[in-house]
Amino acid sequence: MDGSGQINGQGSPWWRQAGNSDYINATNTNCNRPTALHFYNCNGLQLSGLNHLNSPRNHISISGCNGVTISNLHISAPQDSPNTDGIDISFSSHVNIHDCVIGTGDDCVALDNGSSIINITGVACGPGHGISVGSLGENGSHETVEEVLVQGCSFNGTENGARIKTWPGGSGYARHITFENITLIDVQNPIIIDQHYCNGEDHCRNDQGSAIKVSDVTYRLVQGSSASKKAIDLDCSKRVACTNIVMDQINITSAVPGAQIFASCNNAYGTSSSTTPNVPCLSKSPYIDSNLVAVNVTN
């Protein structure tokens, strides 16, 4: 599918009725908010050149596909439009996404269960919730994501930057994931691993009997500004700690001149080098679970 045409999902009436729910009730009949484009069980899929606006829910979903190239797309929806992910990937492998501009009310790109060998290059994200691995493990499910490279991407005014999110109580893994050559502009959570993701459901925030195993995650050559004091947040499960987390050549400063920023870790283990803010809480020792470090940043 190649062309310069426009797909307008006319999502506004759906957003108003649904709020944050996937469902609306019209004349007492429950209706799903639709995904505008859903590609299922495709081999050698190529998608380029489209301008895609205002989907009622996800703009593009790729499921059960192999050998996918997505390039030069413009995807946009208002910042407050609910669940309007740009591109969602699941049960798919050998997916290349490059040179896209995505600004929506949710994840610019989301890598869900069964995603493997994914290369995301040159994506400009904002507004939105960043480029996310997950969410994984909802309702105790076994889910996996592996072999992901996100490189040369930028985040402007987003809620998150490089993000991994898993629900308590799930099982499986998210592993062999690299974020490198990343540019941040006024990002609320520049680097975040959230293993207590509950999508607003407070009752599930405590650690449960199992968790997704997060391991072999590298952040390299990440630079830019944080809109919050907590620039790096590695909040891992007490049940299954995050391991082999590598921070290398990170330079994040506050978007507010003179403000302090810090890194926070819980049950995260690995190494850091040439990193601002400093991340000594990322420890090799299994006996040191958390720490906070603040640095004073001046313009």
Catalytic: 129? yes
Residue 296 neighbours by CB distance under 10 Å: 10
Strands (E), 188-241: 189-194, 213-226, 230-235
Cα separation values, 104 from 49, 130, 226, Å = 18, 10, 20
Spatial contact of 200 and 160, defined as CB atoms under 8 Å apart: no
Q: How are beta strands 74-76 and 101-103 bridged, if at all? A: parallel
Closest to 131 in 3D by CA, of 87, 91, 166: 87
Q: DSSP letter at 43?
A: B
Cα separation values, 158 from 163, 181, 182, 253, Å = 11, 17, 13, 16
Q: Which of 74, 129, 176, 196 is catalytic?
A: 129
Spatial contact of 130 and 105, defined as CB atoms under 8 Å apart: no
Angle ∠(205,83,58) on CA atoms, nearest 5: 130
CA 68, 140, 135, 279 torsion: positive or negative? Answer: negative
What are the catalytic residues?
Answer: 129
